[in-house]
Each structure stands twice: as structure tokens, then as C-alpha cells.
Amino acid sequence: MEVMAAETGKTLDQSDPEISEAVDFAHYYAERARDLDDVDGASFSPVRLTVVTPPWNFPVAIPAGSTLAALAAGSSVIIKPASQARRSGSVMVEALWAAGVPREVLRLVQVDERDLGRRLISDPRVDRVILTGGYETAELFRSFRTDLPLLAETSGKNAIIVTPSADLDLAAKDVAQSAFGHAGQKCSAASLVILVGSVSTSQRFRNQLLDAVTSLSVGYPSDPATQMGPVIEPAAGKLLDGLTTLGEGESWLVQPQQLDESGRLWSPGVRDGVKRGSTYHLTEYFGPILGIMTAATLEEAITLQNDIDYGLTSGIHSLDSREIDTWIEGVQAGNLYINRGITGAIVQRQPFGGWKKSAVGAGTKAGGPNYLVGLGSWSPRQSTATDAPLPGAAPLLTAARAAGLSGTDLARLERSAASDAASWNSEFGQVKDISALSAERNLFRYLAHPVTIRLAEGAPVADLVRVLLAARAADAPIAVSSATELPDALRTVVEAQAESVTTEDDGAWLARAASLPVRRVRLIGQDTAPLAAATGGRPDLAIYAQPVTESGRVELLPFLQEQAISITAHRFGTPNALTDTII
């Protein structure tokens, strides 16, 4: 905690939970590592080397979590802490060495961000990179190596909606806390508050927010009374512009002030009158600035939230269950928070990771049940599941028989359908609250995600059918591209399931793929390199190219996206059932 305060300006109330989070990661990933040996229908193999490139804003918890995940998955690790947090990262690594992690397995490096950093990231001996940082950094890494296996949690531009039914006092407190904790330097921080209907003109809410913001004690962590510390470096560029320049129609409700000559210590700022589509609405500033937007209806407010390219955290304050239901089903973000702040995710309780441009790669959440699944490779083995196939599997299995697939292939498909059903019934089809707290509901669920499926030249049609079974189990929207002309009986069923079915050779597919507005592709029978090269290494395109297995636990994941929902389930200490009938 002392090192974090001295090096990154982190106040003690912010660094204390960070240590707890690092400890939680160690325990949680150790338990999840055991699960990797017991996946039905697939065998896990670790990769040899993972490079971890963590951020400076969580200088211990995120480096620890990423490193511990890779180690738990059986990989050796090279960690390169952010230059602004080198000492914090070094203390964390020394703690792991002291705990018994061999130095030959975990290496700490301090290299510059230019030539040596580029050589490290692009080296073909690196099997995977875990990045937490800006989306621009993910683009930079992929420019080094277009087929780089990159798992990243990137940027966020997060908003809290406040409706007329909200507890306005609680909302003001949570908005201020979410916006200005660690000087707004959290990817999960509230950068916007969207006021709905009468809250837009509520002087009471604005006064409460004004009081909450202006009463914050701003200083350096050396003063124990400090509530908001400095920014990591002297404000410059985009952040300085956000602290000093208003957009058209905007005004300062609270104008930020530079408090000393260092350029690092600023009082918090609140800008009013932020318009839809404005620079402030759509840009991540990563500092102590909050913008106020207004909306006539909840639906309009949700649109303002979803306009943003990122989808990391989102919040709502409302005591109307119908409003909460509308919001949950309409908002596009990986972590949802209801009647509470939108920062401070806890391992297992609120697995962390976003949607859209807030996630690169598989999209599995840190501190969640699937994070380790994406840190190695999977090979087929025979499923032992005995669950009855889900109803949607029947047409595909019937078509496969009519298409004349071999008995061996048909038996494999039937086992795969059973494994899909087992995984759906036990995990993917459930909304779970593992923590089961009485004062807070922490729900974890899976939603269908659109995927383009590509069967490459020479790949067996049976593999396509197996992947289609997984897509059908997840009820995911799909498009199919096949290098092989499908048998008539099978094509009829596939056309009924898919939004489009195209027959094209590998060259035509790659030429067309470069312009497709898709975010996920399931490749069958081809590695990622040609598609990654054709699409320029786009970070927002996730390519799944692992061998096709019988495992529902593995094969359904490309067709699902994870969402964590945290709900305050009490009023002044008295439990309530506000959301029990919604989800």
C-alpha cells in the first residue's frame, strides 16, 4: 500500500481493497485450475509462454490477477509492469517468488515502450498476451503481429442513469464515488450521469451532487484525510483538454482547478449540458471529470448509453422494477450495477469484463468461471455426457444422417449434442448467484452472441455440423461460409438456422471477410493467421480456431457473451425483493 501511494498516488482506501482482490485472485484461479482437468469432451493443454502487460491504475490487483491466471493455467509468464507502476509490479512479483513460484517460470522485465517492448510482444515464441489498457494499445499490439493471441480488457466510457423513481440522495453519493474514486482513473469509472425526466431539472439532485463532489478532500496520499488523490502524470493532451475545454452548449457545474505546480493535482470537475454525439459524450478521458446528460425517457437514456463504442460498466438508480427490467434487457455492457456504485468489482461475485470495444479476444471475464478456459488450447476427447439432447439438436442430427455421414461421425455428433445439453443445463442456461448474499444480488448469466462460422477447404462437413449444434444450443444468430457444397438435406436445415449460407473458396472468403462487420468468427480447419492478415488484425474481431471437440463446455463459449449484474437488495438495511421477479 505504501509503494502504491508513493508511486501512483493511490489513497489508502483505494489500495486496501486492491490487496484483497489480489489475494482473491490467487485463491479463485487455483480452484478453477482444478476444473480444467475435468472438462467433458475435451483435453486442456497449457501454452508455453504468456506475456502480461498490466496497467498503472490498478498496479497490484490487475498484474496479480493476470499473472496468477496464466500460472494457474500452466503457462510460464513474463510480466512487464506499466512504466508508471514499476515498483508496485515488482513488489507483487517478489511476493509471488517468496511464496514459491519459481523464478524460471515467472520473469519480471522492465523494458522501454518502443523497440524492446515491440520485440517482446511480437516475438513468435510468445503464445499469448494478456493486456489491460486502452483500445489504442490493443491496436498497437496487433500492428506488431496481426495474429497475436491477445486477451484484453480495454477502455470504458461508463454512465449511470438516474430516473425519477430513484433515491436521489443515494444516487448522488454513488455517482460521485464512482466518478472520482482514484481520481476517475478506473476503466469502470462513471464518466457520465444521465438524468431522466424530472430529475433533469431537479435542483435537489444537483445540490446533492454538488455537495458530494465539492466536499471531497483532494490531496496526496501522505495525508490520511485525502479522499481523492492526484492523476498519475501531469495532465496533458486529451485529459488536459477535458479538464479545461467545454464543448458547445456545455457549462461547468463544478469547474476543475489545478491545485499545485506539479500538474498532477486537480480538483474534480462536473460539466453540464453534454449533448448526444459530442466529443465528451463519446470520448474516454480517464481523469476526474463527470458529464451530465439529460433524457426525456428511460429508453432515450439507454440509447445514450449504448451510443458509445465501449460497453464495460453501466449503472441505473431506480426503485421501479419495470424500469430496471427495461434497462437490464436493453443496455449493452458486461457489468451492470443497480442502485449502487459501478466500480469495485469483486472476484467471483462480480466477474469483470466488457462488451463491444471494451473487450478483445474471447470476452471471458476476469475473476469468472471461464477465464482460464481461454488461456490454453483444447484437443478432442470422447464425451461421456448422458443428457438428452436439447430440442434444437434434432433437425441437425436428422439432416446429418440423411446426408450420409459415417457412423463414426454420427456417434460423435450424438455425444456432442449430449455434452451441449449437459453444459447448458448445468452452466450456460442458468442465471447464478454463487455468493448468495442477503443484502446484494450478484447474478451471472450468458446471452447469445452473433457468430460467423467458416468451414475451410478440406475440413470435414461433420465438424461444421458439430459447431452448428453448439450454435443451436446457444440460440445464437449465425452466418455460415463453407468451402464445401453442403448436401441438400443438410443445407436445407442450415439455411433454416442461419441468417445466410455462402459457398466460397478460401480466397473468396478472405477477400469478403475484410469488409464484414462481424465481431466473432468460428474457423473450422484453418489457423487464425490468414484471416487475421486479411482483416488487419482488428482487435474487435475475435477468431476462434481451436480444433473441434465434443465438449459443450468449450464449443458453446464462442456463441455466448457473459454478463454480471450486481443489485443492492435492501433499503436502509431491510432486505427487499425489488428485482426478484425480473431476473
Catalytic residue numbers?
153, 187
Rounded Cα gap, residues 566 and 83, in angstroms: 33
User: SS3 for 430?
Assistant: coil
Q: How far apart (Å, rounded) are the C-alpha atoms in residues 458 and 482? A: 10
Those residues with Cβ within 8 angstroms of residue 265's Cβ, 6 or more apart along the chain or in another chain: 218, 219, 220, 230, 231, 258, 259
Angle at 121 between CA 117 and CA 123, to 5 degrees: 115
Cα(341)–Cα(337) distance, integer angstroms: 7
State the CB neighbour count (10 A cutoff) for residue 34. 9
Segment holding 194, helix H or strand E:
strand 190-196
Beta bridge partners of 574: 571
Closest CA to 218 of 209, 229, 210: 229
Burial 408-422 (b: 16+ CB within 10 A, else e): ebbebbbbbbbbbbb
Instruction: Using the Cα atoms of residue 421, residue 423, residue 424 and residue 426 in order, give the sign of their dihedral.
Output: positive
Give the span between the Cα atoms of 520 and 518, in whole angstroms: 6
The secondary structure of residue 213, as a DSSP letter, is H
Local structure of 522: helix, strand or coil: strand
- Give the whole-angstrom CA distance, residue 304 versus residue 283: 13
Helical ranges in 428-516 per DSSP H: 461-474, 488-497, 506-513
Cα–Cα distance, 228 to 209 (Å, whole number): 16
Count of Cβ atoms closer than 10 Å to residue 204 Cβ: 11
- Give the residue ranges of DSSP H helices in 385-443: 393-402, 407-423
- Angular region, 92: left φ>0, alpha ψ -120 to 50, beta rest: alpha
Cα angle 309, 352, 334 (rounded to 5 degrees) comes to 40
Q: State the DSSP H helix or E strand holding residue 356, giving kind and residue range, or none if neither.
A: strand 355-356
Query: If DSSP states are collapsed to H, E and C, what string results for 293-310?
Result: EEECCHHHHHHHHHCCCE
Question: CB burial class (10 A; 0-12, 13-18, 19+) of residue 306?
Answer: middle
| Signed CA dihedral, 565, 566, 570, 575: sign only | positive
Strands 128-132, 150-153: pairing is: parallel
- First CA to last CA across the chain, in angstroms? 39
Contact criterion met (CB below 8 Å) for 507 and 434: no
Look at the chain and count its residues.
Answer: 583
Residue 192's beta-bridge partner residues? Answer: 159, 291
